[in-house]
Chain A
Amino acid sequence: MDTFQIPVGPLHVALEEPMYFRLDVDGERVAAVEITAGHVHRGIEHLTERRNFWQNIVLTERVCSLCSNSHPQTYCMTVEAIAGIEVPVRAQYLRVIADEVKRVASHMFNVAILAHIVGFESLFMHVMEAREIMQDVKETIFGNRMDIAANTIGGVKYELDDARVAWLVDQLDRLEPVIVGEIAPLYRTDRSILSRTRGVGVIGRQDCIEYGLVGPVARGSGLDNDIRRLAPYAVYADLDFDVVTETDGDVWSRAMVRLGEIRQSIGILRQCLAKLPKGPSSLPGWPAIPAGEAVAKTEAPRGEVVYYLKTDGSTMPQRLKWRVPSYMNWDALGVMMKDARISDIPLIVNSIDPCISCTER
């Protein structure tokens, strides 16, 4: 049989965002992949140079929806580094809480989509239904289901009183048994899931290092490079959590890493809520931002996010530049898709949890 070309994307039911794969197909096997990006470039980096430091908090939050807390948080960290701002401890705890809530929701979304691609709609519904708990948390605490606007320079923009802390703990008590007792065992043992995800889209540990992979993709291949552990920011150094890794490096391993991380995040949230110190949650007034340069990095749901900021003493950044995890991870799709079947392509793409709008901004 001759090879023929099929287009996957830029608009495709299994891709949440526009990305174009041109596949040379030999029967059901993929012979070659060509990835084209750039469909959602919006010029945000350039735009940041025309907005002042506070407007940029709003702007960076809109780079991407699922990691919409990591971007402003990392951006604020660079500004704080340049201005020499000491963020109050309570604010740091609140930042971790906001971040982990987003991480749980993001990971649940990804594993739900995996079930959808496999055609297991009941499981998709079940995970999305459980995810609603986290969505309700965001709506109740932050007032919005996606862009939660938690961060500001020098602290956070939201408060948790005792009633809300107690309510949050209740919600975690509702979510944890569903994750631990139902969803994770299903993904670990269900034949429909296993037969479609085991041994699919494999990438080895060495390839992970060579491609510089980050986040759950790298951890699925046994590379434990969690920024929260390697370069702790906020109060992660005081928190007790495990870096979840798997060894097989296939689609299933990456899903299992995410499910494990959901559980760790729930643990982190519980610790933060228990330890939450009293004190201010932000700085009074607007600090002056001197000229300078700074780099900050955090662990977004998809992996390491790096922000670089250069200022010249004015109210606007001279240059703001960031590198997102999907940028590192999507090159590895070529390795993962080698000899894959057509039916596995959406699964493999989903398994790196690509964030196109982050990458192309």
Chain B
Amino acid sequence: MPDNILTLLFAVLVFPGGLFALAFGLILRGLDRRAVARMQRRVGPPLIQPFIDILKLMGKRTMVPEGSNTFVFLWAPVVAVAAMAVAAAMIPIAGFYRPSADLGDMLVLLYLVTVPAVVLMLAGSASGSPFGAIGFSREMAIMLAYEGPLLLAVVAVAMVAGHHLGQPIALSLADIVAVQRQQGAFILDPMLWPALLAYLSFIPANLGFSPFDIPEAESEVLEGPLLEYSGPALGLLKLASALKSVVVIGLGIALFCPIGPSGGAGLLVWALQCAVVTVCGVSLAKAALGRMRIDQAVLFYLKWPELLGIAGLVLAVANL
């Protein structure tokens, strides 16, 4: 099926994965920096500053530290970008884009979402720097803590959607979106609010933003795994993290609030939703909170979001 392969390639490389997600992710990053600056009564950089940063990094040399594992050190960022480009192609945009089932279902997506964190761990340990090693252990700890709430929230939504479809569980994001477009967005269902909160609290930790920017804390471990990176390799890691914000926020919108109208307006509404989540969810927390300690963050996740996730699942199942 050459047609299908071409479509898939287009989805992964151009839209909505690849180039589009890259550009959109960088704009979201710029928006976030600008919003934080405004909250701190600063002017802030121009919206396209992240593009400029990436361009600058791409024009520099990548230094590979002595004593590092060169292969892992250089390929880890590539893997992160590739994984995120595929993941971005799997995110439906309500009314505008329906991912092909050939890309895989939500289980694949959940695995892909963890790839950047794993890459950071690999990169940290491959760099041979003690700060990278600390970043590794912190990334691992916080990942174990936030994966629980994520899975619980996703399963709660999938089970509710599956109930509407007459299946035990709906593992296709496209189906979950379709159900909500018929039955109303899940964000309006109070029974799913705990799951929504669990998902929202997962976002800053997964994206490595305050108050959970612990593995890459600049004033503590000198950006941990990123410490030894420079030039294009660092640029790729930054691209992967920009892509990840699109994936994680887009997944949240698909799970809870896919309300865009059909056609081009759907894309516009989706982009606006992403921007709102970025400013209200990420920038606000960044401006209002300090960093937690790793033990505090892990404890926090094991307490509140985990509880919310369990409550969300129980409520969702009890209500079927």
Contacts and interface: CB of A to CB of B under 8 A. Distances in A.
Interface residues of A, number: 33
Contacts of A123: 290
21 contacts: A4-B133, A6-B130, A6-B131, A7-B130, A13-B222, A14-B219, A115-B290, A118-B291, A120-B289, A120-B290, A123-B290, A125-B40, A190-B290, A193-B290, A195-B292, A341-B293, A343-B214, A343-B217, A343-B220, A343-B221, A346-B219
B230 interface: no
B297 to A, nearest CB: 10
B217 A119 contact: yes
Given A120-B289, A196-B290, 5 more contacts: A28-B138, A28-B295, A119-B213, A190-B290, A192-B289
Contacts of B130: 4-7, 25
A13 B218 contact: yes
Contacts, number: 84
B34 to A, nearest CB: 14
B316 to A, nearest CB: 31
Interface string B271-306: 000000000000000111111111110000000000
B180 interface: no
Choose among B130, B221, B288, B293 the residue with the greatest number of A CB atoms under 10 Å from its CB.
B293
Interface string A39-59: 000000000000000000000
B210 interface: yes
Nearest to B141: A28
A117 interface: yes
Interface in A222-238: none
B219 A119 contact: yes
B226 to A, nearest CB: 13
Contacts of A192: 211, 289-292
A121 B283 CA distance: 12
Contacts of B211: 119, 192
Interface in B175-226: 210-211, 213-214, 217-222
Closest 9 CB pairs of A and B: A119-B291, A192-B290, A120-B290, A118-B290, A6-B130, A14-B219, A125-B40, A122-B287, A117-B219
B41 interface: yes
A122 B219 CA distance: 15
Nearest to A115: B290
Interface string B83-111: 00000000000000000000000000000
B137 interface: yes
A338 interface: no
A286 to B, nearest CB: 48
Interface string A330-346: 00000000000111111
B8 interface: no
Interface in B124-151: 130-131, 133-134, 137-138
Contacts of A343: 214, 217, 220-221, 291, 293-294
A4 B39 CA distance: 40
A212 interface: no
A119 B137 contact: no
A173 interface: no
Contact of B296 (A6, A195, A345): A195
